[in-house]
Amino acid sequence: MLTISVFVAGDPPQGEDAHTLKVVEAVAARFPGEVAVEVLPITGEKAEALGLRLSPTVVEGGLVLSVGEPLSAGRLKRYVEAQLREQSAS
């Protein structure tokens, strides 16, 4: 299972943070049981450990996919498909 982390500045997320979270959740919904989404604060320990400062930031498996800007659903979907293919091949 892939876990995609979305780091946001507010609770609830606003503006670009909210938009990015919706995109990530929509893509994850296309892969039920295979992709999980977690929402984390950009000021939290996990963000600090990764050196993150800008929101929204999208991370999967330690790889930063997007920082401080919207992430396209198509790009994220292609990434998820490739990761799931890789997992099933091993």
Domain 2-89 in this protein, CATH class? alpha beta
Residue 90 has pLDDT above 90, yes or no: no
Residue 2 to residue 33: CA distance in whole angstroms? 9
Residue 67 to residue 6: CA distance in whole angstroms? 10
Residue 43 has pLDDT above 90, yes or no: yes
Q: Determine the average pLDDT of the residues in 66-75.
A: 93
What is the pLDDT, as a whole number, of residue 89?
87
The tokens describing 87, both together, are 């997992």
Chain-centre distance for alpha carbon 40: 10
What is the pLDDT, as a whole number, of residue 36?
98
Q: What's the predicted TM-score (pTM) here?
A: 0.94
| H/E stretch holding 38 | strand 35-41
What is the pLDDT, as a whole number, of residue 7?
97
Instruction: Look at the alpha carbons of 8, 13, 19, 24 in this order and tell me if their dihedral is positive or negative.
Output: positive
